[in-house]
Amino acid sequence: MRKPVIAGNWKMYKTVFDAVRFISELKDLVSNVKDVQIIVAPPFLAIYPVVQEVKDLNILVSAQDVFWEEEGAYTGEISPKMLLDAGCNYVIIGHSERRQYFQETDETVNKKITASLHHGLIPIFCVGESIQQRESGKTLDIIESQIKRGLSGLSASDMKDVIIAYEPIWAIGTGKTATSKQAEEIHAFIRGILKGIFKDIADNTRILYGGSVKPDNIDELMVEPNIDGALVGGASLKAEDFARIIKFKTKLR
Ligand code: PGA
């Protein structure tokens, strides 16, 4: 069975002080949760302090980006090795904001995924179409090409722990969520592509939905068979909202 994942992408929000305070609020709200993998992705500077706070808790830490080289003269960059050394085990790769504002391409995404896996850092690999692409009927082609290029060269065993996040760009930060049916359609499509490449491994891959996930829409999303969790932006910044999302309700819980 696929253990659900609820991951909070803090983007460029929260100082070290705010980040540490957030964890002290969240930990009590979710201390009983055992059946969901909880991940927070603070800005780089807050990673190490947050790692100290979550020691022995049911909360794991992700970065929001990474560079593919191990070390070297790459001013401003952070390597997979550095993230692991700081106690961070996951990294968001290929978020649409990185693609849009920082010239991230499928090729650089692929290099980052490959380097992360090589070092033992688990990628949360993001894909998603723009509104223009959706309206012109190109969604499936775009998603297929992002998945195939992003994961190019990976073996089934590399793929074992990789998490995928489907985030339609038009739903990010806009308050417009894809309906659970729209999301499920794409999630099932993504799983089909993964099956074609990685065979049985695909049944174990967690595919998260992202884009305006809130306490009031998480329950219906989590009912869908191929939605294995959520990558949450805005609503992950408030401990109460994030905790409610983590405690989503389905018939099984
Ligand atoms: P949002 O962001 O929840 O604020 O729409 C999601 C994301 O960008 O990961």
Pocket of ligand 1 (CB under 6 A): 9, 167, 172-173, 210-213, 231-235
97 CA closest ligand 1 atom index? 8
Dist. CA 150 → ligand 1 center (Å): 20
- Residue whose pair of structure tokens reads 């992705």 in the numeric block: 41
Q: What is the pLDDT of residue 34?
A: 95
Residue 222 located in a structural domain:
yes
Contacts of 54 (CB under 8 A, 6+ apart): 23, 27, 40, 60, 61
Residue 123 inside a domain? The answer is yes
Q: Which long-range contacts (CB under 8 A, 24 or more apart) does 36-39 make?
A: 36/3, 36/4, 36/5, 36/6, 36/229, 36/246, 36/248, 37/3, 37/4, 37/5, 37/6, 37/229, 38/6, 38/7, 38/246, 39/5, 39/6, 39/7, 39/8, 39/90, 39/124
Protein residue with its CA nearest to atom 3 in ligand 1: 233
Q: What is the rounded average pLDDT of the residues 134-161?
A: 97
The answer, as to whether pTM is greater than 0.95, is: yes
Q: Which atom of ligand 1 is nearest to the CA of 92?
A: 9
User: pLDDT at position 167, please?
Assistant: 97
Count of structural domains, the chain = 1
C-alpha of residue 96 to centroid of ligand 1, in Å: 10
User: Any idea which residues carry the catalytic annotation?
Assistant: 95, 167
Quick one: pLDDT at residue 178?
A: 86
Residue 78 lies in a domain: yes
Query: What is the pLDDT at residue 129?
Result: 97
pLDDT value for 245: 98
Percentage of the chain surpassing pLDDT 90? 96
Residue 160: its pLDDT value, please?
A: 95
User: Which token pair is 55?
Assistant: 């020691």
pLDDT above 90: residue 180: yes
Q: Is residue 253 part of a domain?
A: no
Mean pLDDT of 33-54: 98
Kindly report, residue by residue over 198-248, the tens digit of the pLDDT.
999 999 999 999 999 999 999 999 999 999 999 999 999 999 999 999 999
Q: Does residue 251 lie in a domain region?
A: no
Q: What is the CATH number for 145?
A: 3.20.20.70
Q: Which atom of ligand 1 is nearest to the CA of 210?
A: 6
pLDDT of 64-85, one tens digit each?
999 999 999 999 999 999 999 9
Q: What pLDDT band is residue 90 in, cutting at 50, 70 and 90? A: very high
Distance 160 CA to ligand 1 centre (A): 25
- Residue 143 lies in domain: 5-246
Residue 252 lies in a domain: no
What would the mean pLDDT of 21-50 be, rounded to a whole number?
Answer: 98
Asked whether residue 199 is assigned to any structural domain, the reply reads yes
Q: Is the pLDDT of residue 253 over 70?
A: no
9 within domain boundaries: yes
**Going by C-beta distance under 8 Å and a sequence separation of 6 or more, which residues neighbour residue 51?**
61, 86, 87, 88
